[in-house]
Amino acid sequence: MNPLNSKPNRHDGIIAGLLWYGTLIASAVIMIGIIVGAAAQMANTPGLTHTGYALIKLGVVIFVLLPIIRVALMLVMFAHARDYIYTAIAALVLAIIGVGVLLGL
């Protein structure tokens, strides 16, 4: 087995795991928010209804952050592999996202 071929597979596995488990966690948070919100409306408790909506928002935020975390993870992986061109590209993408967030505020 060639160690050069196994490293990209390992990196792909790490990124795939991040996206897989991140999606699973975000979906679970949204599902719990829906259940809490529905149970609160049935029991007529407004405090829990807001908690349910907050959990749903948190799940959506996790979904939005997953690609950003992926780019940051790839930046670290490229820097660790000393692939400076792709490190610069990943840093540029993160900078563009950051500027977009700041201008959107």
HEC string for 56-80: HHHHHHHHHHHHHHHHHHHHHHHHH
Give the CA dihedral 61, 64, 66, 70, nearest 10 degrees.
Answer: -140
Query: Residue 1's pLDDT is what?
Result: 38
pLDDT tens-digit map of 24-40: 999 999 999 999 988 88
Query: Is the pLDDT assigned to residue 49 strictly greater than 90?
Result: no
pLDDT at 11 over 50: yes
In the block, which residue shows the tokens 């790490």?
14
